[in-house]
């Protein structure tokens, strides 16, 4: 079974308002997607999150978004390709400054929310994100969605000289093309820990999932996204970590 890296969105609190159980999630993941201030977070939260990642030996990644604090970055915005390139570059640079102060470096980039979904639908936006990475550091991997057919994404990445990390989700339902079912649809998010752990195992083993239309779907992934917003989700993360580590050591 493939050794999947676990990633989680982190540092999404703002001032006294707390979102996510970062202290409990961080010990169980490999990659921390740190919000860069456009959809969530502030300088104090960013630095605190980077320090927490350093304490647990977790790789820090930039989690840039559209400038949409009110909508938590989940609303598409009418940005030009140049604006997308610049807003990604700006946010990566902000996080890189904090990382440098703490003796770390940004290890990868994973766009957030609507920007992530838009880049997977629109090659022009995806190319803009890739140009931002290359302009900052061409060695930075870009985390993208693992779909049924990732060939177009691979071709664009090769053209720009960008390394891809393909990501799958343990707690989300997929459509027939391997894209996430909208959160507005019933059943889009899995809540049963057994279902979540089973989906994680299937992805790690390269076994098929059942898509929303009943078809079989196989996703080739390098990393698995987990969420830690409540006690139940923390328990699911622990169970995923144990299941994947146990299966990997036994294979």
| Predicted local confidence at residue 191, as pLDDT | 85
The better pLDDT of the pair 224, 249 is held by: 224
Q: Report pLDDT digits (tens) over 149-177.
A: 999 999 999 999 999 999 999 999 999 99
Q: Which pair of structure tokens corresponds to residue 48? A: 């605190």
Residue matched to tokens 């940005």 = 79
Q: Are 21 and 124 in contact (CB under 8 A)?
A: no
Q: Which residues contact 59 (CB under 8 A, 6 or more apart)?
A: 30, 31, 32, 53, 107, 108
Sorted by where each begins, the domain ranges of the chain are: 5-250
Looking at CATH, the fold of the domain delimited by 5-250 is given as: TIM Barrel (3.20.20)
How far apart, in whole angstroms, are the C-alpha atoms of residue 62 and residue 64?
A: 6
Supply the pTM of this predicted model.
Answer: 0.94
SS3 10: strand
Q: Which pair of structure tokens corresponds to residue 8? A: 């989680």
CA-only gyration radius of the chain, Å: 17
| Predicted local confidence at residue 248, as pLDDT | 57
pLDDT range class, residue 245, cuts 50, 70, 90: confident
Q: Which of 1-5, 40-44, 124-128, 154-158 has the lowest mean pLDDT?
A: 1-5
| Predicted local confidence at residue 247, as pLDDT | 61
Does residue 250 carry a pLDDT above 60?
A: no
| Predicted local confidence at residue 249, as pLDDT | 54
Does residue 2 carry a pLDDT above 80?
A: no
| Predicted local confidence at residue 33, as pLDDT | 98
pLDDT range class, residue 88, cuts 50, 70, 90: very high
Mean pLDDT of 50-69: 98
- Rounded to the nearest 5 percent, the helix, strand and coil shares of the chain are 45, 15, 40
Q: Report pLDDT digits (tens) over 106-148.
A: 999 999 999 999 999 999 999 999 999 999 999 999 999 999 9
- Mean pLDDT of the chain, nearest integer: 94
Distance of CA 166 to the CA centre of its chain: 10
Nearest to 49 by CA among 103, 98, 105: 98
């Amino acid at each position: 079974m493939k050794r999947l890296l676990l990633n989680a969105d982190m540092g999404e609190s703002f001032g006294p308002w707390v979102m996510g159980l970062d202290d409990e999630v961080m010990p169980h993941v490999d990659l921390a997607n740190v919000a860069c201030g456009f959809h969530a977070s502030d300088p104090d939260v960013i630095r605190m999150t980077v320090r927490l990642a350093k304490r647990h030996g977790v790789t820090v990644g930039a989690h840039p978004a559209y400038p949409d604090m009110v909508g938590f970055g989940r609303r598409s915005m009418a940005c030009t390709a140049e604006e997308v390139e610049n807003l990604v570059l700006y946010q990566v640079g902000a996080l890189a400054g904090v990382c440098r102060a703490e003796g770390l470096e940004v290890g990868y980039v994973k766009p957030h929310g609507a920007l992530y979904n838009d880049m997977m639908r629109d090659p022009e936006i995806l190319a803009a994100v890739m140009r931002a990475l290359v302009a900052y550091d061409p060695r930075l991997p870009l985390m993208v969605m693992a779909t049924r057919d990732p060939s177009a994404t691979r071709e664009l990445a090769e053209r720009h000289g960008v390394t891809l990390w393909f990501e799958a989700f343990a707690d989300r339902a997929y459509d027939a093309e391997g894209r996430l079912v909208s959160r507005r649809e019933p059943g889009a998010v899995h809540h049963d820990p057994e279902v979540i752990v089973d989906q994680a195992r299937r992805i790690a083993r390269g076994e098929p999932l059942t898509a929303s239309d009943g078809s079989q779907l196989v996703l080739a992934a390098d990393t698995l996204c987990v969420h830690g917003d409540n006690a139940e989700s923390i328990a699911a993360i622990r169970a995923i970590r144990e299941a994947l580590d146990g299966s990997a050591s036994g294979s």
